Structure 1
Amino acid sequence: MDKIKIGVVGVGNCTSSLLQGIEYYKNKNSDDIVGLMHWDINGYKPDDIEVVTAFDIDKRKVGKDVNEAIFERPNCTTVFCKNMPKTGVAVKMGKILDGFSDHMKNYDDDYTFLLSGEPEATKEDIVRILRESSTEILLNYLPVGSEKATEFYAECALEANVAFINNIPVFIASNAEWAKKFEEKNIPIIGDDIKAQLGATITHRVLTDLFSKRGVKLERTYQLNTGGNTDFLNMHQSSRLTSKKTSKTEAVQSVAAT
């Protein structure tokens, strides 16, 4: 089968886990797939996914092979596949917009983003790179609160006729106007936001559902937003949390209402 050619926006912890996972499962089979919900989706397996382009704004990542960039600071996710082969795909300088919050300048270099001095990519640059690399799906892994930057990359995907998976809580797929733009061009759009494999939101949803099934009336519930990576440092700026709070609240309320 043909490879599924993906591009990633933001070479952070999530991208690191994704690319490590693709490599890790290459030598596995259906009897040894701890960590995956689905091994085979319509004939496609993890190693059928190939990253063909990547964008970031951190000087420690821009210009490096994407499989090297995923281990650069401030990334701090678990390393479970150390020997990552080079892909030949160098991380390109992206567009900053609101993808970098000013308050991030106040932290130690190991925990924050260090802006690259490379010229920022234009819309024309991004569209050209997507086309030249034959990218089929663009995955958005920008920091929470990157509204303008997410819309910018969504527009690039539209112009390049590339599917868009919005993995952060900026409302694109769930926005009627944006959804219509993709529908009119017959381009897939998936989102918005994703849950960690076994994080707070999915645990919260399961507990809420359990209360209902056991006949317990749930009057109030809350979820603390605490973590130890750059994503949570980024969210110290409360204005960047608005859409995330809406997304996570709706995720839990959708279960409570059933």
Structure 2
Amino acid sequence: MNMIKIAIIGIGNCASSLIQGINYYGDRGMGEAIGLMHWEIGGYRPCDIEVVAAFDVDRRKVGRDVAIAIFQKPNCTKVFQKDIPLTGVTVSMGRILDGFSEHMSHYDEKRTFLLADKEEPDKDDVVRILKESKAEILLNYLPVGSEEAVRFYAECALEAEVAFINNMPVFIASDPVWAKRFAEKNLPLIGDDVKSQLGATIIHRMMADLFKKRGVKFERTYQLNTGGNTDFLNMLNQHRLTSKRTSKTEAVQSVAAVRLDAENIHVGPSDYVA
């Protein structure tokens, strides 16, 4: 079987965990595959995924091999696979647009993004890289609130004729207009947003579902998330949170027995705690 060729936008904590995982599970059998919901899908396993292109805007990552870039600051995710062979794939400069929130420039460099002094690519440049790399799927891990930047890369995916997986809460797959455009080109479009493996939202969602199944009525609920990575630092800017709050709130509302009024449910980030 051919490898699944992916390109990644944003070489942050999520991308680091993904690439570490591809290598970690590649050295193990099914009985050792702790942490995976499915060891095999359609005959494909984690080791069948290959990163062929990558984009970022941080000067500590741009120009480096992906295998090195995933361990650069401000990444702070758990390192569970230290030995990552060089991939031969260099991280390309990405398009900034609204992907960087100005308030983040006031924090220690080990905790925030340091924008690279490189020429930003236009759509033609990104499309060319995607085509030359023979990428089949473009994964988006841009910061919450990057409305313009996500739409830019979604356009690039359409132009390059690659599938688009949107792992953050700017509504692309959920937007009928975007969904139609990808469908017309027979391109897969998946999203929007992604939950932690065992984080607050999935637990909150399961509790709401359990209450419904056991006949328990709940009238009000709230969920306050804190964290110390760039995701939470970025989300200190309240103007970037509209779609994030909608995404997380709907995850709970969708399984509740009775939909709660907006004033009776609050789900979202509350603070950055380093």
TM-score scaled by length of structure 2: 0.93
Give deviations 1:18-58, integer Å, cap 9, x for gaps.
Answer: 00000000111111110100000010000000000000000
Q: Where do residues 59-138 of structure 1 align in structure 2 (5 Å cutoff)?
A: 59-138=59-138
Do the aligned partners of 2:6 and 2:138 also contact (CA within 8 Å) in 1? yes
Please report the RMSD computed on the Cα atoms of aligned residues, expressed in angstroms: 0.8
Q: What residue number does 1:23 align with?
A: 23
Separation in 1, partners of 2:182, 2:198: 31
Matches for 1:154-193 after TM superposition, within 5 Å: 154-193=154-193
Whichever structure has more strand as a proportion of its residues is 2
**Letter of the structure 2 residue corresponding to residue 130 of structure 1:** L
Q: Which residue of 2 aligns with 1:208?
A: 208
Q: 1 CA distance for matches of 2:127 and 2:238?
A: 32
Q: Which runs of 5+ in 1 are unaligned?
A: none
Q: Which residue is equivalent to 2:198? A: 198
Q: Does 1:248 align with 2:252?
A: no
CA drift at 1:187: 0.7
Give 1:183 shift. 0.8
After TM superposition, give the deviation of residue 228 of structure 1 in Å. 1.4
| 3-state SS in 1 of match to 2:32 | coil
1:68-127: CA deviations, max 9, x gaps?
000000000000000111000000000000000101111000000000001001110000
CA deviations on 1:182-215 (whole Å, 9 max, x unpaired) are 0111111000001110111101101111112222
Helix, strand or coil at the partner of 1:226: strand
* Map of 2:262 onto structure 1: none
1:42 is aligned to: 42
Matched, 1:5 2:30: no
Q: Distance in 1 between matches of 2:190 and 2:257?
A: 24
Equivalent AA in structure 2 for residue 181 of structure 1: R
| 1:225 to partner: Cα distance | 2.5
1:123-144, Cα deviation, whole Å (9 max, x unpaired): 1000000000000000000000
Structure 2 unaligned spans of 5+: 259-274
- Counterparts of 2:228 and 2:35 in 1: how far apart (Å)? 22
How far apart are 1:257 and its partner, in Å?
3.6
The CA distance in 1 between the partners of 2:31 and 2:78, in whole Å, is 23
SS in 2 for 1:179: helix
3-state DSSP of counterpart to 1:223: strand
Cα offsets for 1:159-178 (capped at 9, x unmatched): 00000000000000000111
Deviation of 1:63 (Å): 0.3
| Displaced runs of 4 or more, over 4 A | none
What one-letter code is carried by the residue in structure 2 that aligns with 1:240? R
Do 2:212 and 2:257's aligned partners in 1 also have CA atoms closer than 8 Å?
no
The alignment-based identity, stated in percent, is 69
SS of 1:194's partner is coil
SS of corresponding position for 1:208: helix
Report the more deviating stretch, 52-61 or 218-227: 218-227
Give me the whole-angstrom Cα distance separating, in 2, the residues matched to 1:257 and 1:39. Answer: 33
Q: Distance in 1 between matches of 2:178 and 2:25?
A: 35
Q: Residue 221 of structure 2 aligns to a residue in which SS?
A: coil
Decide whether the 8 Å contact of 2:58 with 2:114 is kept in 1.
yes
Question: Partner of 1:51: helix, strand, or coil?
Answer: strand
Distance 1:225 1:82 in 2: 29
